[in-house]
Structure 1
């Protein structure tokens, strides 16, 4: 998983309770869940003929330069 670092000050509403911040948290959660699901499928003995993680090329998360990743 790649972390994409962006400036929180470059986007309006990137405060802890702002829309950008909350959307970033959602994107990161979805990205982590997708990666976990692909890893689980890859580890499953019944579906070993497909490399599911490579289908999506990995997923990215977003981190603010000033404050780190939203949590």
Structure 2
């Protein structure tokens, strides 16, 4: 059984596959049975079942990386 990931609203994750826009970084906006996330590149919102979302996560960005990304976006 795969390891469970602690997912919180506001965290930034890198997914294994790129979105069609070319972005692979997402911000979690809703947590429940389904996970909603927004692409940081094109701002598209998607909802995935929790199990599928956890399978697709490559890396959870730590707060230092997350803060530097938000500065770069501005």
Structure 1 length normalisation: TM-score?
0.25
Relative CO higher for 1 or 2, CA cutoff 8 Å, sep ≥ 6? 1
Which has the larger strand fraction?
2
**Higher-helix-fraction structure:** 1
